[in-house]
Amino acid sequence: MVIIAAGLGAGILFKQFPVLHTVLKVVGICYLLYLAYRVATASTNKLNTEKKKPFTFIQAALFQWVNVKVWIMAIGAIVTFASAGGNYLLQVGAITLAFIFFGLPCTGLWLLFGASLKDFFADPIRIRIFNIVMALLLVASLIPTTHELYVQWA
């Protein structure tokens, strides 16, 4: 829902200020490259295993509406992967569906295998390899967007 809200709100701004889409797309690309760098160079020290009381389902659902990182992710996804031309609503819907169809299964797998992955990632070398692979995949996800900008500016 946050992606839809961000996408529809951004769509109104993009109609009034078309250059804003391009500016935010470049900012989004730079931010994702920064995140990829941070992931690739993240510490391989052991994670803090301190047990804390988790949110309830309702608390977690409500938290998403005030979680700044969720809004940055949603706006970043919209401006990075939607193009100013074409059917904008269809693009917002496709991005939302991509988050649902890929995000939910990945989160579910992470939850299911979390305990066994904890043992697997006890080795700092495995953590480093995983982080680098994740960073490279994040950079690779930007190829269509950077190509679109290149075509737009060429």
With beta carbons less than 8 A apart as the criterion, state whether 92 and 78 touch: yes
- pLDDT surpassing 70 at residue 10: yes
CA 6, CA 77: separation in Å to the nearest integer?
A: 9
For residue 100, the 8-state DSSP code is: I
> What's the pLDDT at 50?
67
- pLDDT surpassing 80 at residue 19: yes
Token pair belonging to 7: 């996408």
- pLDDT tens sequence across 57-89: 888 888 888 888 888 888 888 888 887 667 888
CA 17, CA 106: separation in Å to the nearest integer?
A: 36
- pLDDT tens sequence across 24-58: 888 888 988 999 999 999 988 765 566 778 888 88
> What's the pLDDT at 110?
80
Q: Which sequence spans correspond to the domains of the chain?
A: 2-44+57-153
R_g of the chain, CA atoms, integer Å: 18
